[in-house]
């Protein structure tokens, strides 16, 4: 029996070894072949770390980690993990290791070891990821130069090439179009891009157009490199390439292009590399041909691809999944996102029992009614995922396909709306708190403040010229004003209507500017006001907060301009006021965003919640006004507010 096990051990196609007390004491020929050794004696009596790089991919030293892995195997009976080993050539290669304890005596700890070389599976996965990534990228472009550049970038990353050239041959126009060329100059780590060129056929040798019509691999020796340059000069520098891959692009038995990749390293590429480059070339050829033959539809197609990309991103952000169910075959199709939503392993078979096990008990009846309906259905229900948490699902079912009055195919989509449900609950709670805040301001604070003001006003009459009484009276008046403004600001923030009045814009802005006089002096800023007197607007005094915010931002963010100018422009039914600074110009991308909540102008030394301009937007809205920002040339910004002027029949009374 022992001899049979020994024969099985020796003839196994898997690399098999024996570890005794931390050292390899036996191995089969498959192990020797995998490591590239001549005899198994080169393996025996070595610690696993000796046949490994100094450190594993996770940063741990091989010696320390090997001891940990063996200890886990002895502790648990077996242990499976991935490991990097070294071949005799010095090449690092990944393996899957299975350690099985066969003896755990104190002085005779023995493990049976099996290695599975992961080089090919990992390389195959890496290649699959690369071509999938390239396919996704190419779908975004309809311009041939962009397609070629995207292809070169991924070929460089995959093969580690020093020089890449991508050409498209236009037989009808009799030109060879070099769409993209890059080469690595000596001493550089990154390649240099060269200007694409097109050459007429009569300026090229026949070999450059049709000479090589099959994939070609050239791995030259050092002597060959010194003896002569390449037969065809694909590179853009004077350096001589040691290795070259060439993949023609063939369409309808005609060579329409070519992809070349070169390296200044000897024996860089293999036959496998060549077949892989041919796949890249085929992908590029399809994309280039698509772009070439639909050039007249280029703009329309690019817009379509853009919309498709935006739709894909929107679906991912919205967390939406789709499904189909064939009633007759009892077969389900679920999109990948739907598995994530329901917290189900993609490899798990979808059954009605499995789905119902996820549905919240109180929503099972609702879910069943939805599935049995023969009409378009929209409904919300809850599911319980594996960690016990609850998710809200919004589901929409398309009208089913019927045969003999019975559904044969059901389709629908489901969206995880947990966040929006929770946000709605928070919003409801926020509205309650807002109402409470308004009640406190309007009644609990304003009433006693009004009493204090009335009493202080009476005291002023009875005790004139008393400094303390005057201070009490003026302070209580300011308190009432603050409470009024706070109440109005709260209403404006939540989009509620506020009373509008006929106001003198000059007086309003002058009072606002006066509040900033100390800060302007400290910042060495000059503020110039160009507002005519007796210029009336139709707004609530709260509109002054817009100007306060604009001036405050100009001081904080654009103080380097040393000047702020307020200008007015009278229109037929409105007055347009601009607060102009001469500091750093806000980028075009940010000009609308800065009026959104939680968006701040970039400034590393400024802090805040980004609420100021969002509130300005709300205040403007309830005053029937508009706000925006434009660049102030040559630099700086112009913050605008357009405010309605009073109608001719308007009186100073409240609207």
Upstream peptide bond of 138 is cis (omega within 30 degrees of 0): no
Q: Is residue 309 part of a domain?
A: no
Short-list 418, 368, 419, CA closest to 397: 368
User: Does pLDDT of 509 surpass 60?
Assistant: yes
Q: Is residue 277 part of a domain?
A: yes
Q: Is residue 307 part of a domain?
A: no
Q: Is residue 471 part of a domain?
A: yes
Q: Which residue has the higher pLDDT, 298 or 218?
A: 218
User: Does pLDDT of 230 surpass 90?
Assistant: no
Q: Is residue 462 part of a domain?
A: yes
Q: Are residues 130 and 249 in the same domain?
A: yes
Q: What is the mean pLDDT of residues 279-285?
A: 91
Q: Are residues 349 and 465 in the same domain?
A: no
Highest mean pLDDT among 180-184, 202-206, 440-444: 180-184
Q: What is the pLDDT of residue 32?
A: 95
Residue 289, domain CATH: 3.30.450.40
User: Does pLDDT of 394 surpass 80?
Assistant: yes
As a whole-number percent, the residues of the chain with pLDDT over 90 amount to 30
- Say how many domains are in the chain: 5
Q: What is the mean pLDDT of residues 123-148?
A: 90
Q: Are residues 392 and 371 in the same domain?
A: yes
Domain extent at residue 207: 123-298
For residue 647, the tally of other CB atoms under 10 A from its CB is 9
Question: Does residue 462 contact residue 615 with C-beta atoms inside 8 Å?
Answer: no
Q: What is the pLDDT of residue 427?
A: 64
- C-alpha to C-alpha distance for 500 and 577, rounded to whole angstroms: 18
Q: Are residues 394 and 355 in the same domain?
A: yes
Please give the full DSSP string across 265-313, using - where no structure is assigned: STT---HHHHHHHHHHHHHHHHHHHHHHHTGGGHHHHHHHHHHHHHHHH
Q: Is residue 482 part of a domain?
A: yes
Q: Are residues 28 and 154 in the same domain?
A: no
Q: Are residues 199 and 164 in the same domain?
A: yes
Short-list 80, 122, 135, CA closest to 282: 135
Q: Are residues 426 and 410 in the same domain?
A: no
User: pLDDT digits over 396-441, tens only?
Assistant: 888 878 888 788 888 888 888 888 887 777 766 666 666 556 555 5
Residue 585, domain CATH: 3.30.565.10
Q: Are residues 399 and 444 in the same domain?
A: no
Question: Does residue 535 contact residue 575 with C-beta atoms inside 8 Å?
Answer: yes
Tokens, residue 583: 């500091």
Q: Are residues 46 and 136 in the same domain?
A: no
User: Does pLDDT of 5 surpass 90?
Assistant: no
Q: Are residues 484 and 619 in the same domain?
A: no
Q: Is residue 304 part of a domain?
A: no
Tokens, residue 505: 């814009």
Last residue of a domain, one of 475, 493, 511: 493
Highest mean pLDDT among 54-58, 328-332, 372-376: 54-58
Q: Are residues 266 and 332 in the same domain?
A: no
Q: Which residue has the higher pLDDT, 297 or 538?
A: 538
- The pTM score is 0.42
Q: Are residues 271 and 362 in the same domain?
A: no
User: Does pLDDT of 53 surpass 50?
Assistant: yes
Lowest mean pLDDT among 339-348, 358-367, 488-497, 541-550: 488-497
User: pLDDT digits over 531-563, tens only?
Assistant: 999 899 988 888 888 999 899 888 888 777 789
Q: What is the mean pLDDT of residues 123-143?
A: 89
Confidence class for position 208, pLDDT limits 50, 70, 90: low
- C-alpha to C-alpha distance for 438 and 59, rounded to whole angstroms: 59
Coil, strand, or helix at residue 347?
A: coil
Q: Is residue 652 part of a domain?
A: no
Last residue of a domain, one of 117, 145, 166: 117
Coil, strand, or helix at residue 431?
A: helix
C-alpha 537 chain-centroid distance: 46
Last residue of a domain, one of 416, 443, 472: 416
Confidence class for position 299, pLDDT limits 50, 70, 90: low
As a whole-number percent, the residues of the chain with pLDDT over 70 amount to 81
Q: What is the pLDDT of residue 655?
A: 39
Residue with tokens 């390899």: 24
Residue 619, classified by CB atoms within 10 Å of its CB into exposed (0-12), middle (13-18) or buried (19+), is buried
């Amino acid at each position: 029996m022992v001899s049979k096990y020994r024969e099985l051990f020796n003839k196994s196609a898997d690399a098999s070894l024996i570890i005794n007390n931390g050292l390899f004491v036996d191995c089969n020929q498959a192990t020797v072949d995998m490591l590239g050794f001549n005899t198994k004696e080169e393996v025996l009596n070595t610690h696993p770390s000796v046949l490994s790089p100094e450190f594993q991919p996770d940063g741990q030293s091989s010696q320390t980690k090997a001891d940990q892995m063996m200890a886990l195997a002895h502790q648990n009976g077996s242990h499976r993990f991935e490991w990097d080993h070294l071949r005799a050539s010095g090449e690092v290669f990944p393996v899957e290791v299975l350690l099985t304890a066969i003896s755990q005596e104190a002085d005779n700890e023995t493990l049976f070891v099996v290695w599975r070389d992961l080089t090919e599976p990992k390389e195959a996965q890496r290649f699959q990821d690369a071509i999938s990534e390239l396919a996704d990228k190419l779908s975004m472009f309809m311009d041939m130069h962009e397609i070629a550049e995207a292809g070169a970038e991924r070929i460089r990353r995959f093969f580690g090439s020093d020089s890449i050239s991508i050409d498209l041959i236009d037989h009808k126009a009799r030109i060879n179009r070099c769409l993209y060329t890059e080469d690595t100059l000596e001493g550089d780590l990154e390649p240099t891009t060269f200007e694409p060129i097109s050459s007429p056929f009569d300026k090229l040798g026949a070999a450059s157009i049709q000479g090589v019509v099959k994939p070609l691999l050239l791995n030259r020796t050092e002597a060959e490199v010194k003896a002569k340059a390449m037969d065809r000069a694909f590179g853009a520098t004077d350096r001589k390439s040691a290795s070259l891959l060439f993949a023609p692009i063939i369409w309808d038995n005609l060579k329409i292009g070519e992809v070349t990749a070169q390296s200044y390293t000897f024996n860089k590429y293999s036959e496998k590399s060549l077949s892989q480059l041919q796949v890249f070339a085929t992908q590029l050829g399809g994309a280039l041909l698509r772009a070439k033959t639909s050039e007249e539809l280029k703009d329309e197609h690019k817009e379509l691809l853009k919309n498709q990309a935006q739709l894909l991103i929107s679906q991912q952000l919205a967390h939406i999944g789709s499904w189909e169910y064939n009633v007759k075959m009892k077969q389900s199709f679920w999109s990948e996102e739907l598995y994530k939503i329901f917290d189900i392993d993609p490899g798990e078979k979808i059954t009605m029992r499995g789905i119902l096990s996820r549905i919240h008990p109180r929503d099972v009846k609702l879910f069943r009614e939805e599935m049995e309906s023969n009409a378009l259905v929209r409904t919300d229900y809850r599911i319980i995922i594996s960690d016990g948490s609850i998710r809200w699902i919004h589901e929409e079912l398309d009208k089913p396909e019927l045969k003999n009055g019975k559904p044969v195919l059901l389709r629908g989509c489901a969206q995880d709306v947990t966040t929006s449900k929770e946000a709605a609950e928070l919003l409801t709670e926020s509205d309650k708190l807002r109402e409470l805040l308004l009640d406190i301001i309007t009644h609990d604070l304003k009433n006693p403040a009004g009493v204090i003001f009335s009493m202080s006003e009476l005291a002023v009459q009875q005790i004139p010229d008393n400094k303390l009484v005057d201070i009490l009276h003026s302070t209580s008046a300011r308190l009432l004003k603050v409470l009024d403004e706070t109440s109005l600001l709260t209403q404006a923030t939540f989009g509620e209507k506020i009373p509008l009045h006929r106001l003198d814009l000059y007086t309003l802005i002058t009072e606002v500017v006066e509040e900033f006089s100390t800060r302007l002096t400290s910042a060495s800023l000059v503020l110039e006001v160009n507002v005519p007197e007796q210029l009336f607007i139709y707004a609530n005094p709260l509109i002054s907060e817009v100007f306060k915010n604009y001036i405050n931002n100009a001081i904080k963010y654009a103080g380097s301009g040393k000047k702020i100018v307020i200008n007015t422009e009278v229109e037929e039914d409105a007055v347009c006021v601009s607060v102009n600074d001469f500091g750093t110009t806000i980028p075009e991308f940010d000009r609308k965003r800065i009026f959104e909540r939680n968006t701040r102008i970039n400034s590393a030394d400024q802090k805040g919640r980004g609420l100021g301009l969002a509130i300005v937007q709300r205040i403007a809205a309830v005053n029937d006004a508009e706000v925006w920002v434009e660049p102030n040339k040559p630099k700086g910004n112009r913050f605008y507010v357009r405010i309605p002027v009073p109608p001719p029949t308007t009186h100073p009374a409240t609207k």
